Amino acid sequence: MIKALAFDVFGTVVDWRGAVIREGELVAKEKGLRVDWPKFADAWRAGYHPAMDRVRKGKLPWTHIDQLHRMILNDLLKPFGLGGLSEEEIQHLNRAWHRLTPWPDSVPGLNRLRGRYVLATLSNGNVSLLVDMAKNAGLPWDCVLSAELFGHYKPDPEVYQGAARLLGLPPGELMMVAAHPRDLEAAQRVGLKTAYVPRPLEYGLDGRQETGPHAVFDVTAGDFLDLAVKLGA
Amino acid sequence: MIKALAFDVFGTVVDWRGAVIREGELVAKEKGLRVDWPKFADAWRAGYHPAMDRVRKGKLPWTHIDQLHRMILNDLLKPFGLGGLSEEEIQHLNRAWHRLTPWPDSVPGLNRLRGRYVLATLSNGNVSLLVDMAKNAGLPWDCVLSAELFGHYKPDPEVYQGAARLLGLPPGELMMVAAHPRDLEAAQRVGLKTAYVPRPLEYGLDGRQETGPHAVFDVTAGDFLDLAVKLGA
């Protein structure tokens, strides 16, 4: 009997790549720059997992995603011809992740699911990033949960266990929803239910596909509206 | 420049006393009991600050409010003639705090404030209690923050400082809203802005009044609609 759904956010709820490209194009237009923004978005994202892994392995003290994004961004500015941006412009670009926009089915699907389930984020993004994004995009969360609250990044088990604890639920009454099999497999290992919602365009039309699931998930859905149907919402 | 409002909840947003009395009357009607429910509500609440103080002073390890409410309730059952309730009925009564109902101005006032500010709870109630209450009562929080996230109860400074940190704001851009001067004074000591919204009926028509403020607060408002006007929302 599932009571609450915990959503991965980057890639599952929001199209980070499309949004970062669009934010970049706005900068380029204003500043008269020519930048390969798809390549830039992919490079920024490519730094994400290695940066979190440095925290997970104790090579960095707890550092939240805004700070990790900035560390990665600093190394991309010159190679991508952005060396002329002011500190204020760099900060604005770094906060593009606070302004990511949802997949077309995300808001209507969440609004349907919300009638029956408690909806929480369970993201590696920091709380303020998730709050800004939700307010900007109209994501109707009942509760914003983040790796930041637990001092651990997914897929560390503490994150999934912490979410169940804060929601006052046994793990089997909480369902993790994600486009990423590895996230779901880690949730499953500590007893959460799992819903797999592939997002084939996450890395662009020609981008790499996340390798298919190795585990069997409780639900697989084409998008959040399909998920609502399959969960009876 | 205020960016976000952090709300005390019990007494400030919701009428805990009226709601607990009503929940009691439902139990009494079903079980054919006669109980002095106003006295019961006051007794239950009277145990609240001493129980939290035991945690704050290290006499109890971290214990969340559902658990503290249950410890206090256990001692009230027999004196109030509730010794015949089943474990399931006691659990349901204990969760009355998840079903507290707002003051008449709370939902419309919050909906106005939400257009201009990030709205967060900052309550000693545990996360699941606050999430259930918000869903039940239609409280439009952008973010549910609780003492539980910091392992400290208000008025410990860690709670107010933690809220500003998670919201990504310097303390002076976060305003604490409460009906209780002591809560506001503690917020003020760590640099938060403060809004005082007295709730003269919190302890009932003949109940004690919280002693007036000893400090000067940034805003005093008659209710949340008045607060919205005074904060330009």
Q: A134-179, pLDDT tens digit by residue?
A: 999 999 999 999 999 999 999 999 999 999 999 999 999 999 999 9
Q: Which residues contact B8 (CB under 8 A, 6 or more apart)?
A: B122, B123, B154, B176, B177, B178, B179, B180, B183
Contacts of A120 in chain B (CB under 8 A): 131
What is the per-residue pLDDT for A231? Answer: 98
CATH 1.10.150.240 residue ranges in chain A? Answer: 17-99
CATH 1.10.150.240 residue ranges in chain B? Answer: 16-99
Neighbours of A179 (CB within 10 A): 20
DSSP A119: E
pLDDT at A14 over 70: yes
Provide the pLDDT confidence category of residue A63 given band limits of 50, 70 and 90: very high
Q: Looking at domain A17-99, does it have CATH number 3.90.1300.10?
A: no
Q: Which residues contact A167 (CB under 8 A, 6 or more apart)?
A: A3, A4, A6, A118, A120, A143, A145, A174, B127, B128, B131
Separation of CA B206 from chain center = 21
Task: Please give the Cα distance from A62 to B124 (Å, whole number).
Answer: 26
Whether chain B has a CB inside 8 Å of the CB on A15: the answer is no
pLDDT at A212 over 70: no
Whether chain A has a CB inside 8 Å of the CB on B62: the answer is no
**pLDDT, tens digit, for every residue of A35-56?**
999 999 999 999 999 999 999 9
Q: What are phi and psi of A144, to 5 degrees?
A: -100, 105
CATH 3.40.50.1000 residue ranges in chain A? Answer: 4-15+101-230
User: Is there a contact between B144 and A149 if contact means CB atoms under 8 Å apart?
Assistant: no
pLDDT at A129 over 80: yes
Rounded to the nearest angstrom, the minimum Cα separation between A143 and chain B is 6
Q: What is the domain class of B16-99 according to CATH?
A: mainly alpha
Cis peptide bond prior to B171, omega within 30° of 0: no
B222 closest CA partner among B193, B192, B201, B191? B201
Contacts of B120 in chain A (CB under 8 A): 131
Q: What is the mean pLDDT of each run of 10 residues along chain B (233 residues)?
A: 98 98 96 96 96 96 97 98 97 98 98 98 98 98 98 98 98 98 97 96 83 82 98 97
Pair B30, B5: CB distance under 8 Å: no
B186 closest CA partner among B208, B163, B168? B163
Strand order in the sheet with B219-220: B143-146, B118-123, B4-7, B174-178, B193-196, B219-220
Burial B45-78 (b: 16+ CB within 10 A, else e): bebbeebbeebbeeeeeebbbbebbeebbeeeee
Task: Please give the Cα distance from B24 to B43 (Å, whole number).
Answer: 13
Q: Per the structure block, which two tokens stand in for A116?
A: 């029956």
Vertex A43: Cα angle to A145 and A211 (nearest 5): 70
- Strand-pairing partners, residue A122, are A145
Q: Is the C-alpha dihedral spanning B221, B226, B232, B233 positive or negative?
A: positive
Whether chain B has a CB inside 8 Å of the CB on A215: the answer is no
Whether chain A has a CB inside 8 Å of the CB on B143: the answer is yes
Provide the pLDDT confidence category of residue A206 given band limits of 50, 70 and 90: confident
ipTM score over 0.90, yes or no: yes
User: Is there a contact between A166 and B143 if contact means CB atoms under 8 Å apart?
Assistant: no
Q: Count the residues in chain B.
A: 233
Neighbours of B146 (CB within 10 A): 26
Whether chain B has a CB inside 8 Å of the CB on A106: the answer is no
Fold of A4-15+101-230: Rossmann fold (3.40.50)
Cα A168 to Cα A75, B37, B145, distances in angstroms: 42, 28, 15
Which ranges of chain B does DSSP label H, i.e. alpha helix? 16-31, 37-46, 48-56, 65-76, 87-94, 106-114, 127-137, 157-166, 181-189, 224-230
Neighbours of B212 (CB within 10 A): 8
Contacts of B149 in chain A (CB under 8 A): 149, 166
- Strand-pairing partners, residue B107, are none
Q: Which residues contact B220 (CB under 8 A, 6 or more apart)?
A: B195, B196, B197, B198
Which ranges of A33-167 does DSSP label H, i.e. alpha helix? 37-46, 48-56, 65-76, 87-94, 106-114, 127-137, 157-166
Task: Please give the Cα distance from A125 to A141 (Å, whole number).
Answer: 15
DSSP A18: H
Phi-psi region of B194 (alpha: psi -120 to 50; beta: other; left: phi over 0): beta
